Structures are given as structure tokens and as C-alpha cells.
Amino acid sequence: MDSGLSPQDKKDLDKFIKFFALKTVQVIVQARLGEKICTRSSSSPTGSDWFNLAIKDIPEVTHEAKKALAGQLPGIGRSMCVEISLKTSEGDSMELETWCLEMNEKCDKDIKVSYTVYNRLSVLLKSLLAITRVTPAYKLSRKQGHDYVILYRIYFGEVQLSGLGEGFQTVRVGVVGTPVGTVTLSCAYRTNLAFMSNRQFERSAPIMGIIVDHFVDPPCSSQLCVCLSRAPDEEDGGPFAGVQDSQEVCTTSFSTSPPSQVRGHTPSLLFTVFLYPLTSSLPFSNLGDDDGLSQSGEGRRDEGRRSVSPSDPVESLNAFTRKIGAFVNKPSTQITATSMDLPFAAFAPRGLDSEENDPMVQPPDSPPCPSPLQASLHSQGSEGSGPQDDFVMVDFRPAFSKDDLLPMDLGTFYREFQNPPQLASLSLHISSQSMADDLDSLPEKLAVYEKNIDEFDAFVDMLQ
Amino acid sequence: MNCRSEVLEVTVEARQVEEAMLALLHTILLHRSTGKFHYKKEGTYSIGTVGTLDFDCDFIDFTFVRVSSEELDRVIRKAVSEFKDALGNSGSDGMGQISLEFYQKKKSRWPFSDECIPWEVWSIKVNVVNLANEQERQICREKVGEKLGEKVINVVEVINRHEYLPKMPTQSEVDNVFDTSLKDVQPYLYKITFQITDSLGTSVSTTMRRLIKDTLAL
């Protein structure tokens, strides 16, 4: 409805809304670049500072915005939206927030376009500057870099909020009434930042930190993906180089009397920045998940992805133990490791059937030989692979360890590293050499110490 | 004319007082500052440009936007620093209030001095707590950051109601509406005051007033 709106006012209003849309996108995108923004105040107007605010124009953003708007203006039913999303280095992505510039039918016929609407749009931009630092995506965007980047996408038309997950919140930045409708700026942001996508449950969980992430290509691969973490100083010099058309001069003259002096052209700033929202899942979110361990005898879902090749005897033991389910109720079948060439085969967990022969469980009627402990003491030099009969098989259960036979459980670790090799510096011939040197220099050292005995006494007194 | 009054309340640790106050005061002033006016012939004027700057707080998990003007920042910091010192000297149970008042000057005839008529008052109530260990401090960092975010949203909500604002003045009247003393920006005329509440909940100023009244009554 243009009743009462002069052609000049209508033209100005369209111009204001176009530039407002442009600046809105710039503010939002720049706030998600991950850097602190700083622009200078200037007491003399330059003619390209729309809404009397120093907001840089990044040319790529301008270009994308113009593409999305394609000559149209945000209007009733046609909203301009900027979508911010996060993409991890693995390729997963997640929508974080959607900023919407909408127009509704509520008109304010009496408002002065060239003055009041302009100033209120300026205040709304300032509010946008403040609010963009408050939503959760700001902190995420400041930390972007190696693990993830922040992307943006601009679209025009219907607002799409389905990608924000459940329980998303909305914050209203502000409204400005105009004779043709009320401009509303708001942000819907995701609150559930847990990176659990549906896809995760279809994959089998990796074991012990082996992350297998074979994702299919995201559905909207045809869309342009624009990365925000690019440094903004790629543009041509000067803070306002982005304003391309020479006639895009903003209204800077105001009048305390009824508007008469306002002149300007009709710049059309269309901003479409194409964001590429991707649903993502955090790396390592599957650590510690035992469901992947398949039951013995059943097909191992992740077999093809595991790269275990039992080259090491210990590995082979581990490979065998992997067959057993983590939380299986029946007692775990102990594997006799003596058949493998293990260094501490005698100490490997023995099968249940060995309990019958376990002297500790069923002590022999008469101890014909010295007790096993004594036997082990005498043979301390040996590496423990002596005849098993001399040793009593005691199930080695280290304190606080789980008995689930996962590879590298505490017991295995302890057994493996129980007898580490000798330190080179402690080996006999080297140590004896240094010992001899020490003994030779001893008299000299003693003489020196005796000379300085007063100093030492003073030091000791000081300490007391 | 009715003065619009808004109250914001925050609970912070002693070392966070300064940044929390700066965050809120600067956010309000960002919205209540314009570029410098340049009056031309025929009653028209042009407006300078306001730059903005992101400020990361050290003791709070928060970043706020302020006007890019070192002069204005100095003035606000000085006021906040005085408030912080007063709060610190008041005792362990620090409670106080800092007020940012926007006013218009109304010239009166001699011998009466100019009247200051407030049109918007923001009162920020501060409650200072002491925390026992580092873990609590870390939680406080984040919590206060979130709270400040909520307060910024409150401020923006009030301002975007677009209620009364002084009319744009003519050249001769500009000093009655705006603070023209700064080189690069022009906030509305404002003043910052504060009062400290002692642990009994009464403000020091009311106690003094009561004392004087009682003395006079004798």
C-alpha cells in the first residue's frame, strides 16, 4: 500500500531496505569470521557509510548476496536468511543458527522515511552487532581453525529452521516499522550442540580409538561452499572498496526541517552467501564404545576395517581375546597361551579346566619338592619360561582391573613390563669403570670439602 | 514527560565487576551514540560515522561490542573504576548500583540554572560474591558470560521498542541533547552515578540523609 507515500519516499525506502539487507549480511558474516572486528569512527561522513556505521564490505559476500537476492527485496513472504553452520575436518557439518530478515504486513503510515526509518535501521544494525556476539555460535566461530570451520549460506524465500535440531531458541534483534510493512530481524540458534547425528548408529563403533569414518557424500553437494575462515584482507585496499557501483551513495544529509534536501540514487545490494550446512559428528565420539565387539563365532562387522595382523605373539593373543564379547555373562574362556610362543606363557590366564590341576585349589597331598615360592626365588635369573611344574598357577588379577580380556588390560601390561631390560648405564662394565674413577678422585674431593667446612656449617645454620 | 527506567541485575566476582560494567554500559552507549553532527546551511546537517570494536573480557567468557572511541572508553572506564573501588572499600558483602542516565538540558532564565531532565535511566545492580576455589571461578566465568549475554538481549529489546527519543536539535540546541565534547562520536547527554549498599541493605546515602534529618529534628 503506497497511499500517502511519495515516489521519492518509496524510492528511498526501497534503497534503505536493500542496503540494510546488505549490511545485515556483512555484519553476520564478519561476526563469524573468527576474528575481532575493529572499524574506525570518522567525524566526517564519507558517503558510503550506510546508516552512519562503519561496516566493511567484503566483496565476496556482496557478490554472493546479490546472487541470492537476484534483484528482489525482502518482502512479505520473501525473507532473506543467512544460515551459519559448522563443518569439521572430517567432513561432518551441523547448522548452528539462521538469521532471518523478514517483513510483515503491519505498516506504520505516519513514520518519516528519510529520517526516522533510517535512524531506526541504524539502531537495529547496532543491535545486530551486539547480538551476534552473544549467540553460542560466536564462541565456536572464534575457535575455528584446525578442527572445524564456520560456513555461511544465504537464501531468499521461505525460512528453513529444521536443520537446527530440537529445542532451538529464537532471539529477536528488533523491528522497524515502515509505511510498507514492518522489518523484523531475528535469529534462531541451535541449543543442542551434541554432535550425535542419526548416521552414527548405522555405523559400527570403532575399537580402541580406531576411528572409521566413511561417510557418503552430503546430499546438497551441488551448492557452493564458501568458507568463512579465509582472511578478509584479500579485498582491494580501503575499508569501503566493496561498494562497487559508483552511484551507490547513501543518504547522509538530514534536515531538522521537513525533508527537502534528501537526494540519492538507488543502489541495489543483494546479498546471497551460500553456506554449506553439513551434518557432522564429533571425532572420537565413539571412543570406549564396546558394542562393536562382536560375539565369538559370529561375523565381525568391522572386520574389514581393522588392520590387525597378528605379527606379534602378544597381538595374536589380543586378537583372540577380541573375539569375546565385552559384557558376556558366562565366564570368559581362558585361552591357553602355552601353545603360542609367548615369553610369559606360564603367567597367561589359563583355562578353567586348568583349575582342576591347580595346586593352589587342590593342594597336592604331600609336598615332595620345595615349595613353589622357594623354587621361583632360586631361579630369579631365568626369564620365567622354566618348567611350569615349579610354579603355582595363580590367576593374576591386578587390583582395580577389569576382567574382560580387552587387549592391553592391566594384567597383560603388568606381565609384559614386569622385567624391563637393564639400563645401559647400570650395566656392570660401565658402572665399574665409573666407580673406579670416583674412588680415585675421592681424596681430592675430601680435601676441598675440609677446606670449605666453615661455609658448609654456615649454610646448615642458615637452613635451621 | 515520563522517564523510562530499566534495571539490570548481575552477580559477579570482585575481579569481574569492571568488565561486566563496561560490557553493559558500552552496549547501551553503542545504541545511544551517533556520529558527529555537521550543520550546513538551510537547516540541514550530516552525520559522521560510528566505528565499532570487539572487546574480549579477561575475567569473563564474553565479548562485547563498543563504540570505537578511545575518549569515550576512557570516560566510562574512569567511572567504572571509581565504582569498583567504592565497592571494594565498602566491605566484604559488596552490593551496589551504577546508573547511566540520559538527560536533556532545559535552559532556564537567569538566575535559575539549567534543568536536567532525564528521559532514560539504566540502573545496573551489582552483587559481589567471593568464591572459594579455582573450579568455582571457572564455572563463574562461563555463567557470568551467559548472564551478560542475556542482559545484552534485554538491553536490545528495550531499545528496539523505539520509545521516546529527544527530537533532533537545531544547531543552537545540540548541546542540550548531545554530548558534543568528544572528537569522533556524539552520545546523547549522559551521566553516570553510583551508590553502594552496605551489608545492612541500606544505601549509604540514605543513612547519611537519615542522620542529618535526625540531627536537625533535635
**pLDDT the model gives residue A401:** 62
Q: Are B194 and B82 in contact (CB under 8 A)?
A: yes
Distance of alpha carbon A193 from alpha carbon A95, whole angstroms: 10
Instruction: Supply φ then ψ for residue A336, to 5 degrees.
Output: -75, 120
Size of interface A-B (CB pairs under 8 A): 139
Nearest CA in chain B to A122: B31
Over the stretch B146-188, which tens digit does the pLDDT of each residue have? 999 999 999 999 999 988 888 888 888 899 999 999 999 999 9
Cβ distance of B61 and A171 shorter than 8 Å: no
CB contact under 8 Å between B52 and A176, yes or no, is no
Residue B218 pLDDT: 44
Beta-sheet strand order (sheet of B37-39):
A253-255, B44-47, B37-39
Give the mean pLDDT of chain A: 67
Residues of A in Cβ contact (< 8 Å) with B43: 255-257
For residue A121, give the DSSP letter.
Answer: H
All residues of chain B having their beta carbon less than 8 Å from the beta carbon of residue A139 are 61
Instruction: Output the nine-digit C-alpha cell for A84.
Output: 551459519
Task: Report the distance separating Cα A83 and Cα B81, nearest Å.
Answer: 40
A81 DSSP β-pair partners: A100, A155
What pLDDT does B205 receive?
Answer: 57
For residue B218, the distance in angstroms to the closest alpha carbon of chain A comes to 54
Interface check B34 vs A, CB under 8 A? yes
SS3 per residue for A357-400: HCCCCCCCCCCCCCCHHHHHHHCCCCCCCCCHHHCCCCCCCCCC
As for the ipTM of the complex, it is 0.90
Other CB atoms within a 10 A radius of the CB of residue A49 amount to 24
pLDDT of res. A433: 66
Dump pLDDT digits (tens) for A289-337. Answer: 344 333 333 333 433 334 334 444 444 444 444 444 555 554 444 444 4
Q: Which of B50, B102, B155 to mutate to test the interface with A (most CBs of A within 10 A)?
A: B50
CB B33 within 8 A of CB A6: no
pTM of the model: 0.62
Distance CA A387, CA A389 (A): 5
Higher pLDDT, A339 or A349: A349
Q: Number of C-alpha atoms within 13 angstroms, CB side, residue A51?
A: 30
Backbone CA torsion sign across A381, A384, A390, A391: positive
Q: Is B57 helix (H, G, I), strand (E, B) or coil?
A: coil
Residue A43 has what pLDDT? 85
- Quick one: pLDDT band at residue A393, thresholds 50, 70, 90? low
Spatial contact of A305 and A212, defined as CB atoms under 8 Å apart: yes
Write the single-letter amino acid at A93.
S
Per-residue pLDDT, B148: 95
> Looking at residues A326-354, what average pLDDT do you find?
48
pLDDT, tens digit, 9 for 90 and up, residues A118-141: 999 999 999 999 999 999 999 999
Report CB contact under 8 Å: A45, B159: no
- Alpha-carbon gap, residue A272 to A252, rounded angstroms: 26
Cα(A404)–Cα(A410) distance, integer angstroms:
10
> Is the CB of A52 less than 8 angstroms away from the CB of B35?
yes
CB within 8 Å of chain A, chain B residues 117-146: none
pLDDT digit string (tens) for A12-68? 999 999 999 999 999 999 999 999 999 999 888 777 789 999 999 999 999 999 898
In what helix (H) or strand (E) does residue B44 lie, and over which residues does it extend? strand B44-47
Residue A158: CB partners within 8 Å, gap ≥ 6? A79
More confident residue, B112 or A141: A141
* DSSP alpha helix (H) spans, B32-109: 70-89
Judge whether residue B140 has pLDDT over 80.
Answer: yes
Q: Which residue of chain B comes nearest to A48, CA vs CA?
A: B49
